[in-house]
Structure 1
């Protein structure tokens, strides 16, 4: 579904992801984990096309219309003048276009999506009036309407209560059973171990990728923390070189001495 080949992504020529290779298989359910600043959100934004590739390649087999993306709340403009119903309705865009009419089936689906996240009766409220947890649930309801084959979720449980989190985890499991490909950025190791058969551990570079119990080991997690602490964001600019060169070269300018 998604293949990364020596992928490098940079912000202002400072590395955010360095030489990542691997693939998300069709129908896989994968948690993306790692310390803060390890490139997890960057990976999802690159897959969806929001960030440019600085080196290597990324191949996505699905068209944009079949990809659903849930951003972090910090990336959402809460002042935009739109109510809850219309925000969820935007999830129908790939199916109805800019001028298509909303039919009875879609209206019923919107009501069902809002009910599934516990927001019945919120349809006419402006999103600016919502709490962080309520807005997160609205965004998830919008994503439900997209009916996508590739689903990217960036920390979907932030500001959600336990009941809503359990309902969302059930939905994610159902997507997996339906053969959809789901990639989720998470911080909660318990959720990763309990609900996600595959895991990708990042520290700007690839630490481990595969079955969750093989990835989430004490050794790998310790290595990821050490790698993250070694990065120096005030160092010199990143030069995109080949993977072979990096393996034989001395320590790069972006790594602080440890």
Structure 2
């Protein structure tokens, strides 16, 4: 499904991830863990082609329109003049084009999905009226109707309440049980242990990758979090 071949990506010629070699099988559930600034979010952006490789490559075994991406909630502009229904319905854009082309069947799907994520009756609410947890539920609803084969989640449970986390994790497990490939950046180690079969430990380079029960241990986590992971503005360009 996904292969990283000697991948180096970064900003202003300075790598945040360098020389990454890793393969993710179709249908795998993979958590990406590591310290802040170690390149976890950048890796997802690289998969989405938001960041171009400085070196190496990313091979993706499916078409781009079969990838669903959930950015960090902090990137959602709640002042944007959009309703909850419109946000969720934007998951159909690659199939339907403009929102104005949605038919009654599409709208029924959106409303049914809103019910599934606990947002019944909130279709016409503007984004500015939603709490952080409600925004995240709406974003998960958008992912559901995209029906993608590869789902990328960037810190999907930050700054939301426990009840919302539990309910959204049920959706993640639903995707995994359906055979979808799920790759998620996470900080909560217990969430990783309980929900993801594989884990990649990053600290600007790959510390460990494999079965969660094997690689998510104190040794690998200490190695990752003890590394120097913030690139200095005057650092030499990577030539490793």
Task: Specify the SS of the correspondent of 1:22.
Answer: strand
Is structure 2 residue 111 aligned with structure 1 residue 114?
no
Bigger mean CA deviation after superposition, 108-117 or 143-152: 108-117
Who is 2:234 aligned against? 236
The Cα RMSD (Å) is 1.5
CA contact 1:88–1:142 (8 Å) conserved in 2: yes
CA distance in 1, matches of 2:99, 2:108: 19
Bigger mean CA deviation after superposition, 197-206 or 118-127: 118-127
Name the count of aligned residue pairs.
240
CA distance in 1, matches of 2:238, 2:222: 27
Who is 1:71 aligned against? 71
Q: 1:55 to 1:77 in 2, by over 3 A?
A: same
Superposed displacement of residue 98, structure 1: 2.5
CA distance in 2, matches of 1:210, 1:100: 45
Q: Unmatched 5+ residue regions in structure 2? A: none
TM-score of the aligned structures, taking structure 1 as reference length: 0.88
- Trace 1:170-185 onto structure 2 (pairs within 5 A): 170-185=170-185
CA contact 1:117–1:164 (8 Å) conserved in 2: no
Is structure 2 residue 179 aligned with structure 1 residue 188?
no
Query: For 1:110-143, what per-residue CA distance to the aligned partner results, in whole angstroms no more than 9, with x for missing partners?
Result: 1122112211111111112222222111111111
Superposed displacement of residue 235, structure 1: 5.0
Q: Unmatched 5+ residue regions in structure 1? A: 247-258
CA distance in 1, matches of 2:214, 2:101: 49
Bigger mean CA deviation after superposition, 147-156 or 71-80: 71-80
When Rg is computed on C-alpha atoms for both structures, the one with the higher figure is: 1
